[in-house]
Every structure is written in C-alpha cells, then in structure tokens.
Amino acid sequence: MFYRPEDGHGLPHNPFNAIITPRPIGWISTRGPQGVDNLAPYSFFNGIAYTPPQVMFASTGWKDSVRNISETGVFCVNIVEYAARDVMNITTTHFDAGVDEFEASGAPKVQCQTIDCPRVGNAPASLECRETQVIELKGRDNYLILGEVTGIHLRDDCLVDGRFDILRYQPLARLGYRDYTHVTELFSLKRPDD
C-alpha cells in the first residue's frame, strides 16, 4: 500500500501514529498564571540534546498545557510508569481550564525545586524545564514546545548500582489508535567502536 497524506489513507483509522511506535509519554505538568495546576500526557515527546539537556513535545491545539507554558515559561515532564496507566488515562480527559487534573485524577502533587510548577510526586523521574521556544508548526493548530531541563528527580527505587533501571518501573509507551505497551525486558548492543 502507498498513499499520499493529502489524498487520505482510505483505511478505517489513520495509521500514522501506529507507524511511529513505541513513543515515550511526556506527562506534562504546568501551573497557570491564576495558580490552577494542569497535568496532561503527550506522546509526541522526546529528549533532543545532552548539553544542556533539552526536551520537546508537540501539541495538536492550543491546550491548557501550551497556554500555561507560554504564559509562565516553565513546565515539568513526568515519566509515566505502567503502574500509573489508569491515573494517566484520567488526565486524557478534556477538563475545563479551571480543573486541577492532579486532584481530578488522584495523581500525587509535589512542588518542583527549580521552577514554580508541580510535578507528579511518585513518578519514576521528573524533568523540571524552562521553555526555550514555542513554535507554530505547518498545518492547522500544531505546536512544538522546547525546553531546557533545569532539575531532574529520580525515584530512589529506580536507581540500581548507579544506573536508572527502567525495569524497576516499566515505562509506559504509546502505540497507535488507543493502544499502549510497557517495557518488560531489555538488551544491550556494544557498538563496533566501543
């Protein structure tokens, strides 16, 4: 099968998200100028640089997260573990702007240390970020948010022999449609020049 996106795919569901898998989930927490806290998952998320550490996520729509970041300049990326899948799923709800998604979902809220923003208290890792750019992308209502990481929280039980052990928490990943997966095994490959 071949199709041009502008012509449509002719399938019952768009396969684009199912092709680019698995995708890590950035559970983005923000605080609005009026002090209302927001928590929402974004699966177009990733790290983009080491020094200084930087991340990105993309949003379809000028959602509460993007609005809060554009007004306050800060956000926190919380890593989603398999055990938090149901709580994370609640935060996919389109709540009104005045609703605190931490309270609505039951996610534990803790104040960040380097920015004025909450984080998920029991997340395996949280990345406190200062926004560096909000870019309007091609198309209608697509935004790319870039941030520099200013603080990193690692849950103690996820550190094993000086390494962040993903099998301790099993990261949740987004697939296509309404499908997810989680990491339950890993393997290493030595590079030829190691």
Around Cβ 93, how many Cβ atoms within 10 Å?
Answer: 11
pLDDT in tens, 11-65: 999 999 899 999 999 999 999 999 999 999 999 999 999 999 999 999 999 999 9
pLDDT in tens, 75-130: 999 999 999 999 999 999 999 989 999 999 999 999 999 999 999 999 999 999 99
Structural domain contains residue 189: no
Structural domain contains residue 114: yes
- 165 contacts 158 by C-beta, under 8 angstroms: yes
User: How many whole angstroms separate alpha carbon 124 and alpha carbon 102?
Assistant: 17
Structural domain contains residue 46: yes
Structural domain contains residue 13: yes
Q: Identify any residues that bridge with 27 across adjacent strands, giving them in sequence order.
A: 41, 78
Average pLDDT of span 156-170 = 97
Structural domain contains residue 188: no
| The residue to which tokens 């005045």 are assigned | 98
Domain count, the chain: 1
Around Cβ 37, how many Cβ atoms within 10 Å?
Answer: 19
User: Can you give the CATH number for the domain in which 81 is found?
Assistant: 2.30.110.10
Structural domain contains residue 158: yes
User: How many whole angstroms separate alpha carbon 107 and alpha carbon 109?
Assistant: 6
- Per-residue pLDDT at 62: 95
Amino acid type, 181: T
- Per-residue pLDDT at 174: 97
Structural domain contains residue 124: yes
Boundaries of domain holding 167: 5-182
* Ordered DSSP codes for the chain: ----GGG---SSS--HHHHS-SEE-EEEEEE-TTS-EEEEEESSEEEEETTTTEEEEEEES--HHHHHHHHHSEEEEEEPBGGGHHHHHHTTS---TT--HHHHHT--EEE-SSSS-EEETT-SEEEEEEEEEEEEPSSSSEEEEEEEEEEEEE-GGGEETTEE-GGGT-BEEE-STT-EEE---------TT-
- Per-residue pLDDT at 106: 98
Query: What would the two tokens of residue 10 be?
Result: 């002719």
Percent of the chain at pLDDT above 90?
Answer: 98
| 70-76-80-86 Cα dihedral, nearest 10 degrees | -60
- Per-residue pLDDT at 193: 94
Structural domain contains residue 40: yes
